[in-house]
Structure 1
Amino acid sequence: MSRHLAVLIASVALVAAGCGSSSDDESSATPAATASATPTVDLSNGCRPADKPAPKAPGKIKKPAEKLDKGKTYVATVSTNCGDFEITLDAKRAPKTGGSFKYLADRKFFDGTTFHRIVKDFVIQGGDPAGTGEGGPGYTVVEAAPSSLRYTKGVVAMAKTGTDPQGASGSQFFVVTGAGAAQLPPDYALLGKVTSGMDVVEKINGIQADPSTGQPAVTVLIESITVKAS
């Protein structure tokens, strides 16, 4: 079953008006007088070209038992063909979720995957080895999000299906890029918050995507994710 954000599927009508994709596509489909008069559209939004990676088989990954040390600071650097950004993991409020994320990053699980889903000014979503929204590491951890959590811009949390329990997560994560996600209930496990490189997140957010699936028009490659503790 797809690990897309369940509420996101239900909220397509709510967010579609803010995307403007349908009307833009229709207007740009008007035939030009000559081929040479057709403008060249840059779909990359300033990102370096990248080939779409082949799906990765996660193999047999043992479910981790490690948790983040609440006395340390953990920063995940997400390197993409659009630039780098940093996520400070919330070791105090989400030590189990962060521990699983670090466990996967240390094993280079995320390297060569993509941001496979973009809903403009809502979320960007990645971490799927299959690249379809249906993949994961083969295990699930559960850690309820703080009841006071609001998914405001820059917050990073974990995706789950509608049938998964509150706070369930595998490997797919999302970064909030707009105010609309603040309406979500605290069902999605907290990971942390973007503390550097929000301009890169905005660049990815601005890439044209299919309004029904969120599939970006160009590949947004996660080259690597590394986590350092201090």
Structure 2
Amino acid sequence: MKKAEIHTKYGVMKIDFFEKDAPGTVKNFIDLASHGYYDGLTFHRVIPNFVVQGGCPNGIGNGGPGYTIKCELDGENQYHDRGVLSMAHAGRNTGGSQFFICHNRDNTKHLDRNHTVFGKVVEGLDIIDQIKQGDKMDKVVIID
């Protein structure tokens, strides 16, 4: 099972992917990360007690990789709990590179089966709470 590390100035968040539930989304994230796409990008949207969002090449939430991917909403792990990675989009099947990490379950229930959950932070959960708008992802590393 492939895993990832998101390196920040606060430390490393270790990610387990939900390949069974969101194979296309996981593949897309791995492909982008393997080519250095996320390295140096900012967390352009931080809403306390909700999410931290990154993956926009423009740094303001309006960009992507130049293509879109389909939502994968039918898997077992489509619940937005603390630490969950999920695809951001501007409407069904419009995701690309932007993703968010959930702060908690209380304020994210409405996202279930509307945004594709594709992984979860399994180490470094405290880092989510430290990230501020404009902080960078130093690098995203894929672990085989």
- Is TM more than 0.5 here? yes
1:79 aligns with 2:7: yes
CA contact (8 A) 1:144 1:168 kept: no
Percent identity (aligned):
33
Aligned-partner Cα distance in 2 for 1:191–1:185: 12
* Aligned match of 2:54: 126
Residue 96 of structure 2 corresponds to 170
User: 1:200 matched to which residue of 2?
Assistant: 127
Residues 79 and 117, structure 2, Cα contact 8 Å, conserved in 1: no
In structure 2, the gaps of 5 or more residues are none
* Alignment pair present for 1:159 and 2:88: yes
Conserved 8 A contact 1:123-1:177: yes
Please give the per-residue CA displacement for 1:192-230, whole angstroms capped at 9, x wherever unaligned.
Answer: 1111100111211xx4xxxxxxxx2xx31111001112x
Name the structure 2 match of 1:220: 135
Q: 2:110 matched to 1:191?
A: no
Return the index of the structure with the highest Cα Rg: 1
How many angstroms apart in 2 are the aligned matches of 1:146 and 1:80? 31
Does residue 108 in structure 1 map to residue 108 in structure 2? Answer: no
Q: Unaligned 5+ residue runs, structure 1?
A: 1-72, 208-215
Per-residue CA distance 1:124-167 (angstroms, 9 max, x = gap): 00011100100100011113222652211111100001xx32x5
Count matched residues: 142
More helix by share: 1
Task: Give the SS at the match of 2:49.
Answer: coil
Do 1:124 and 1:174's aligned partners in 2 also have CA atoms closer than 8 Å? yes
2:19 alignment partner in structure 1: 91
Runs of 4+ in 1 over 4 A off after TM superposition: none
Q: Which amino acid is the alignment partner of residue 79 of structure 2?
A: R
Partner SS state of residue 61, structure 2: coil
Rounded to whole Å, the distance in 2 between the matches of 1:105 and 1:147 is 23
Asked which structure has the greater RCO (Cα within 8 Å, sep 6+), the reply is 2
1:73-95: CA deviations, max 9, x gaps? 11110001222101111111111
Could you say which structure has the higher strand fraction?
2
Between stretches 219-228 and 97-106, larger displacement belongs to 219-228
String of CA shifts for 1:149-189, please: whole Å, max 9, x gaps. 2211111100001xx32x54200000000221023241111
Change (3 A) 1:186 1:122: same
Whether 2:79 is the aligned partner of 1:150: answer yes
Distance 2:112 2:118 in 1: 15
Write the deviation string for residues 80-133 of structure 1: whole angstroms up to 9, x where unpaired.
122210111111111110000000001000011010110001000001110010
The CA RMSD over aligned residues, in Å, is: 1.5
